Amino acid sequence: MRSGAPRTSQPVVPAKRAPNADGSEREGDRIAKLLARAGIASRREVERMIEEGRVKIGDEVVTTPATLLTSLKGVSVDGKMVGPIAAPRLFRFHKPAGLITAERDPTGRPTIYTALRNAMPKDAPRVMPVGRLDVNTEGLLLMTNDGELKRALELPSTGIPRTYRARTFGDITQARLEELMEGIEIDGVRYGPINANLERSANRNKWIELTLTEGKNREVRRVLEHLGLEVSRLLRTSYGPFELADLQRGSVEEIPQVMVERFRKTLKAK
């Protein structure tokens, strides 16, 4: 880590918002929140970086993610100075099957960044995936440079619907699928309501559309397999108001800024 980063004159304020002499509350945001907004990583990942001593203000190592700052001036991560917070940007990515939703894979398997390297616009910032799609799942994966937007989109409490289409093999009825609206428990894990509908079938081969709001790890596959179905293909078609539509596999398209801001306002209202 570089030790020659310039010192900063801004105060490092503890997380507790102690009042100023005049009784007013001290200003500032948590450094973890600011670094997430700057696209360094998600807030949770930033907190891990701070625990590992990778974040500094000037020459001083930050010891708590709750440190209050009014800007990121003088802040460095892994010896590199952090730039100013950019406007939040959101991209639609049609993830192909066979890619890991991670920045790198210890076993050397290709990741989404392998495909994104050539698909992203030349002026694109560093981006992070909103949620995950497992290696065999394809379809819509949102990418953003804003860790706070990423977190808000992922939180189950925001109730953002995710829709999938699954190609399955086996016997199932619409009545059985409708029971999923009551939620289901599998191996001690409780899954919330799922709106599932048969689309079309040819003998025992069936396409099923499922909409859920939690997005637990491998939730769709686990639920369908619990119902006795084999899943041969799984495709995410929408995430909130953002749809895969006719976006080609492996392609990226930026969502207009006005749509991003409009959506952020609905999240704040929630």
In the chain, the amino acid numbered 3 is S
The catalytic residue among 78, 105, 134, 171 is 134
Distance, in Å, from the CA atom of 111 to the CA atom of 99, rounded to the nearest integer, reads 5
Q: If we measure between CA atoms, which residue out of 69, 59, 63 comes closest to residue 31?
A: 69
DSSP secondary structure code for residue 260 in this structure = H
Distance, in Å, from the CA atom of 254 to the CA atom of 144, rounded to the nearest integer, reads 10
Residue 10 in 3-state DSSP? coil
Residue 221 in 3-state DSSP? helix
Distance, in Å, from the CA atom of 16 to the CA atom of 11, rounded to the nearest integer, reads 14
Q: Are 154 and 211 in contact (CB under 8 A)?
A: no
Distance, in Å, from the CA atom of 71 to the CA atom of 226, rounded to the nearest integer, reads 50
Active site residue 105: no
Q: If we measure between CA atoms, which residue out of 134, 149, 158 comes closest to residue 43?
A: 149
Q: Which residues are catalytic?
A: 134
